[in-house]
Amino acid sequence: MMMLAVTINGHAHGPTEVRDDLTMNDFLREHLGMTGTKFGCGAAQCLSCAVIVDDPDGTSYTRPTCIVAATEFNGKAIRTVEGHAKDGQLSSLQKSFVEHFAFQCGYCTAGFLNEGQVLLERLAKAPVPRAELENTIAEAFDGHLCRCTGYIKYHQAVRDVVLAEAHRYLK
C-alpha cells in the first residue's frame, strides 16, 4: 500500500492509501466516481483514458491512465474530462465537439477532448502559421484511436475553435 495525494480538476484528493497496482483509471472511476475517463484498450495504445497533467512550469501534456499506477500521479495536478466545463457552461472546445457531433459512441471523446485542450493551450503560448494548422492538429491527435472513425469530426471541431480565435492561436 502507498499514499496518494493528487489534485484533480482543481480539487485536492488525499492523502489516501491505495494499492501499489491500482491504476489511475481505476482510482478515478472506482474511488472518486469520475467515470468520464474511459478504459479502452488496456494497453495505453488508444488513449481513450488520457488525462491532462499540469506541470508547475505551466505546461501540460496528456498521459494514459489505464496501465499507469495511480501512485505515478502522486503530487501532480491533473484534469479530467469532467473539469472542462466551468460553472455549468461547456468550454468552447466542448461546444465545438457538440456542434460537429464529434463523438459517435463517445468512448474515445474524453481522450480527444483532453488532447485538443492541451493543443489549444500550447498554441496560445506558441502560435503556428495558418498553413501549419492542419498538420499541427493531426500530429496532436496522432496515437488517439477512434473505433467509430470520427477523426475528421474531431479534427474539424478543434480547427474551428482555433480559427474562431485565430488572433490567439495563429501567427
Using an 8 Å Cβ cutoff, are 166 and 123 in contact?
no
Range of the structural domain that residue 66 is part of = 2-83
Q: Which residues contact 18 (CB under 8 A, 6 or more apart)?
A: 1, 2, 3, 4, 27, 31, 70, 71
Same domain, 51 and 104: no
> What CATH number did the domain enclosing 142 receive?
1.10.150.120
Q: Per-residue confidence of the chain (171 residues) as pLDDT tens digits? A: 999 999 999 999 999 999 999 999 999 999 999 999 999 999 999 999 999 999 999 999 999 999 999 999 999 999 999 999 999 999 999 999 999 998 888 889 999 999 999 999 999 999 999 999 999 999 999 999 988 877 999 999 999 999 999 999 999
Structural domain ending residue among the three candidates 40, 60, 83: 83
Whole-prediction pTM: 0.95
